[in-house]
Chain A
């Protein structure tokens, strides 16, 4: 019988395993828990080994200490894995946040294209094609005549252009009705621009 009482902290698991597999230490109990269905003799409540021959095939089942060792290794690997998963989750969270930010920025950044207006309505004749900038947002379209800061809005390009034409007409008549002395620098400039691109052919209602 080999007693290892009180030396558990110094036991090298590899040594124990070697003793075991060579048959020098045929049975083992750890921390009061019996192995191989044997009743532990009194006085061996701590680390102890007593002579109960076992077959080598029983070792994996009975080798509690080795089992605990493997469990601790597995636990350590699981802990590492959990740590890695947490790290990946954290990175994923950052990615989601980044994607969300990019999507929001994209929503605010329209696709821009240009076109020209050749017709307004029965009250205004287009003298020169009116340059229009179309801004396509994810859920609306804005058509602008930047030089006079007019814009039309709609769910599609056609709606936005119709709205812009209405705005151009409104602005033309709003500015036409007031004297230049009532207009600031910009509205005065808009009026001049409008007079260059459209001609009044009817009255606004």
Chain B
């Protein structure tokens, strides 16, 4: 199976809340990622099937939103990529005008 079809929604939600300081308390979790007090991205996790695993489409949109590739999302989902690592990545993209 591909990388994008293996993310558990609960774990992904938890990882994003901790590392990106997001609050997914609504029924359909969505929140803004902030940098320097400004909204940068609107992050949304959907679950159309009621499954505990993120669907490919939702994972693809999440990956696009977060400006990560599949491996990057996997690192964010697991432990290797910390919140600060992600922040530095996005700051770099903002500096280059692509985020």
Contacts and interface: CB of A to CB of B under 8 A. Distances in A.
A137 interface: yes
Interface residues of A, number: 33
Given A104-B5, A137-B55, A182-B37, A187 B60 contact: no
B39 A153 contact: no
Interface in A175-189: 178, 181-187
A63 interface: no
Interface stretch (A18-26, A65-73, A141-149, A194-202): A141-149
Contacts of A185: 94, 99
Nearest to A166: B28
- Interface residue tally on B, bucketed by range: 20 to 34
A188 to B, nearest CB: 9
A108 B46 contact: no
Given A184-B35, A184-B38, A140 B2 contact: no
B39 A183 contact: yes
B4 A108 contact: yes
A184 B39 contact: yes
A153 B1 CA distance: 22
20 contacts: A104-B2, A108-B2, A108-B4, A137-B55, A138-B56, A140-B55, A140-B56, A142-B61, A151-B44, A151-B61, A153-B55, A155-B48, A174-B32, A174-B42, A178-B39, A182-B38, A183-B38, A183-B39, A184-B39, A187-B42
